[in-house]
Chains A and B, each alone.
Chain A
Amino acid sequence: MVDADRVRRELEAVVGARRVSVRPGDLDTYARDMWPRLLLARRDGAAPTTLPTAVVWPETAREVAAIVRVARTLGVPIVPYGGGSGVCGGVVPIFGGITVDTKRMTAIRGFRRDEQVCDVEAGLSGERFERELARRGYTFGNFPSSIYCSTVGGWLATRAAGQLSTKYGKVEDRVAGLTMVTGTGDIVDTDGPRRAQGGPDWTQLVLGSEGTLGIITSARLRLAPAPQLRVFRGFEVPDVAAGIEALRRVLQRGLRPAVVRLYDELDTFVNSFGSHHADPAAVHFGHTHAPAPLPGEGALPPLPPRPAPPPTGALARLAHLAQRSTRQLRGDAFTALLDRPRLVNSVVGTVAERIARKGCKLIIGLEGARLRTEVEAALTFAELERAGARDLGEDPGRAWLARRYAVSYKMSPVFRDGAFVDTMEVAASWSQLTDLYYAVRAAIGRYAVVMAHFSHAYADGCSIYFTFVAHAGDRAASERRYDAIWKAGLEAATRVGGTISHHHGVGLLRGPYMHGEHREAMAILEAVKRSLDPDDVMNPGKLGLASARRSR
């Protein structure tokens, strides 16, 4: 049994009393992230099944090292915590222990224009990082929809990707070195100058380790100059297969658009309901010609507008009430539909094709240095047209650009209506990609309404981002359905040779599928774990790694 009071005292000796908490509210908050399965319990008013023993806010790598040594001595686990925006339960303290929040480590230290790198501490929020870089005329190029609520360290720990990854790469492609505290409590730099080095690349062995090997405290990241030019365009392709082929041709000619997004029929259909004109962000941008980067804003969106105050007059209140009950009615119809996912998937697919008769939408955007971007844009658009895509002009591109952070904030209404929504991002080589799409879509489609878009493209393959919405009776039934969807979807992905995650990570959600993903090669991961964290202090039981600890 862990002596919670002793843990608190030892931590206070390291960081002082103000940066340690054992308050129930804090423990409750740090018991979860944004994993939708946890939100089902949350909606039901259930308390977390496990809580951390204490939460601590270190400010330096040295303090982190001291905290890890405390944990090692006391035999309690460490769970690193960044923004809490993870969607796989990676920060859930399944064995209790000390949750280490990195958000007080936010310095940008070395900023070197000549080498286009900077040293940044792990707890810096993505938004603040990009604003700081934009101020100096640079960008890191990672723009996940969670940019307001995720940290640099969280990105590195999960091998995150942003919306412009096709040009800038995933985060693991842009790391020149890491500073980490290992499970033994030592501070190490994982890399010297990359080009001069022998031996395995430790940076690449730590990236994606989700806190199971150590805590990343800072990183040397590669930057790019802020784009001088940004060109966005919409295209239309007859069907998914034609769209895949068009994207493959662009990427394999050596062209690197920043954004590629190919929506399947249903996703195109759903997308066409968005009222772009009423979007305050779109108004704010006020585009009348090709969108240019906003001065000083990098690729960040304007801050969301404040919500309108509730209406005051009697008439207005009545109207407000009517609006709400309509919403309620719509919600009921919505969940009724979700109870017949197979029907909806087939009908909506056909109806969408029939009514819209415009196939699939493809958004493509390029940005970067002026000359090269102009040339690449012309080559990219020409290649798409040769592949049979129809140019829709700049409007769809602009509309996406203006609304691109909105999507993640549309989850709440679905949960309010008693349903649930989640996303599954898988990837495969081009030759397996169509199989992957149909296999995973069919697997999820037995339980949920499912749509998909293809984004994050490479010369050798592409990622597919499935969004599914489902409904089941009570919480237990919802959880059963939720688990069934993931099992069916991920096993289908493995069966056709795809990977089970492109950029969300493993956490608790995908742990059971890691052996299917890596098979015998898990031996390497287990050996790396024994090397960097011999006592299983760091985030035990995650990443599909077995733990000898007993559940609390």
Chain B
Amino acid sequence: MAPDLHAALAAVVGPDHVRPVAGQHAWLVAPGSPAEVADVIRASAAAGAAVVPVGAGFRAARVKSLGDRARVHVATERLDQVIQLDEASLLCHVQAGLTGAALEQVLAPRGLSLGDYPPSILGSTIGGLIGVRTPGKSSARHGFFEDAVAGVSAVLADGRTIHTRVAPRRSTGPDLARALSGSEGTLGFITAAVLRIHRRPEVRLLAAFVLPSVDAAIAAAFLALREECAPAGLRIVDAAEARRHFPETALADGEAVVVAATAGPTDLAACDRDLIASAALAEGGRPADVALAERWWKRRLGLEPIPGPAPTFQVSAGPRHLAAAYHAIRAAVPGARLHVSRFDLDGAVLFATLVDEAGAALTGPAAAAAHAAAEAAATAAGAWLLGARPTAMAPYLAALRAALDPHGIMNPGALIDPV
């Protein structure tokens, strides 16, 4: 059967765009059009093979549980076209394989942008950004990345192509695009999307403050947000992390740095910056050198290297649990370095980097133990590990998958606990 599948795939995408994965019962296929995606899925279904989407490859596909089952890894790299740019409506119809960076290159000369999202979205494909729901893609100005999705096109397990139609908002049943958003290729293979884009802000203003404690910094952040401040970026860096990221600042133990960027029409950006400043001062803070914020922003844009190592884990918490989660992690691993980012009124994300006393990253069993202790402490204090799923809906998700994909060919290893 295997050679047949290879031949069938080659007949669809051409022999140059299909190759076996060495040592595995799997092929990597790169279709050149949504119609080819549909044919690849039909051919895979006929052979009983699993269809595993491949984006920019930042996240390893979940294939461990598939055992010896034949797999077709469908890459979106050739689906990289901007189909339509509607500048009047600020909508951009793009194929799923386009990366955030490539899209920005099309938008920037026109004074447009995807918006103020964390820079990690630049390396991902649009299909990956929509297909995988992660909190690393939220923006205090625009919301979560899925809020930017006005419509998606996808191929279902039976080879049918669907397009959820575009409207600013509608009241015609549930939001069907949201079924595909976060479905990790299990309900449909996303081939294109219509995204809400933004005009490049008229100005961007930066500011930095030193707060007497992380608790005060968190309080200041939510004080400003509740006054409707909508920063383009806001980050709290604790003293341990600041020593590495901003070595020139002499922070006392327990103090924290707040860096902020605001954007928009000049008056509004200034208003937002002033709201953050007055909140910081109200919580006992003092202004710091704006160069700190400039350095942070450059790193955020990828113009300057970020001092490693990368955060060990991330947890999310609501406004009233953030400080407790922070202190719990510090108590569990005294040398931990932390920063808080991705703020909105629902909460923020704590990024924990576990280091030993000398400042070097922990490795080996000690690291695993520290990691486990810190995670446990954080969740006990009311935080959530990223990627957690409510188990209550698991049977309904299984039923939904069965309804759309009765033979279980669509990324069958994904969204199944335990991961």
Contact = CB atoms under 8 A, between A and B. Distances in A.
Contact of A525 (B156, B173, B198, B228): B173
Contacts of B22: none
Interface stretch (A19-27, A118-126, A198-206): A198-206
Interface in A461-517: 461-463, 497-506, 510, 514, 517
A495 to B, nearest CB: 12
Interface in B140-186: 141, 144, 146, 150, 156, 160-176, 178-184
A453 interface: no
Contact of A201 (B133, B227, B228): B133
A524 interface: yes
B388 A461 contact: no
Interface in A150-191: 158-161, 170, 172, 176, 182, 188-191
Contacts of B199: 252-254
28 contacts: A115-B318, A161-B171, A188-B396, A191-B390, A193-B318, A195-B138, A198-B184, A199-B133, A199-B389, A205-B175, A210-B173, A222-B345, A225-B226, A372-B228, A373-B228, A429-B168, A458-B168, A501-B171, A502-B171, A506-B171, A506-B173, A514-B173, A518-B176, A520-B161, A527-B404, A528-B174, A528-B179, A528-B400
8 nearest A-B residue pairs (beta carbon): A461-B168, A196-B384, A499-B167, A195-B135, A527-B403, A429-B89, A204-B178, A531-B399
Nearest to A225: B226
A369 interface: yes
Contacts of B274: 371
Interface in A282-305: none
Given A205-B178, A372-B229, A198 B133 contact: yes
Contacts of B349: 195
B316 A193 contact: yes
Given A115-B346, A200-B178, A534-B399, A369 B227 contact: yes
Interface in B77-124: 86, 88-91
A375 B268 contact: yes
B377 to A, nearest CB: 16
A205 B173 CA distance: 8
A228 to B, nearest CB: 9
Contacts of B144: 194-195
A105 interface: no
B89 A193 contact: no
Interface in A234-257: 248, 252-255
A378 B169 contact: no
B13 interface: no
A200 B177 CA distance: 10
Nearest to A500: B172
B267 interface: yes
A526 B176 CA distance: 11
Contacts of A192: 384, 388-390
Nearest to B183: A200
Contacts of A527: 187, 400, 403-404
A376 interface: yes
Contacts of A501: 170-172
Contacts of B371: none
A374 B345 CA distance: 22
B358 to A, nearest CB: 32
A288 to B, nearest CB: 28
Interface size classification for chain A: 35 or more
B168 A379 contact: no
B343 to A, nearest CB: 10
Interface in B353-397: 384-390, 392-393, 396-397
Contacts of A504: 171
Contact of B164 (A170, A206, A521): A521
Interface in A395-451: 427-432
A524 B187 contact: yes
A255 B264 CA distance: 9
A115 to B, nearest CB: 5
Given A252-B199, A459-B196, A170 B169 contact: yes
B132 interface: yes
Given A115-B320, A194-B144, A372-B228, A204 B168 contact: no
Contacts of A255: 265, 268
Given A430-B89, A531-B397, 16 more contacts: A112-B320, A159-B171, A176-B346, A194-B135, A195-B316, A195-B347, A201-B146, A208-B173, A427-B168, A463-B169, A499-B167, A520-B160, A524-B180, A527-B187, A528-B179, A532-B396
B271 interface: yes
B265 A517 contact: no
A510 B172 contact: yes
Interface in A66-96: none
B187 to A, nearest CB: 7
A531 B174 CA distance: 14
Interface in A194-235: 194-202, 204-210, 213, 222, 225
Interface string A521-552: 10111111011101000000001100000000
A187 to B, nearest CB: 9
A195 B89 CA distance: 28
A431 B89 contact: yes
A114 interface: yes
Contact of B170 (A159, A254, A378): A159
Given A196-B316, A379-B267, A517 B392 contact: no
A208 B415 contact: no
Interface in B48-91: 86, 88-91
Contacts of A502: 167, 169-171
Select the residue from B168, B199, B347 with max chain A CB neighbours within 10 A.
Answer: B168
Contact of B162 (A199, A209, A248, A520): A520
Interface in B308-365: 315-320, 342, 345-347, 349
B222 interface: yes
B176 A521 contact: yes
A361 interface: no
B392 A197 contact: no
Nearest to B88: A431
Interface string A358-379: 0000000000110111011011
Nearest to A514: B172
Nearest to A461: B168
A49 interface: no
Contacts of A354: none
A460 interface: yes
B267 A198 contact: no
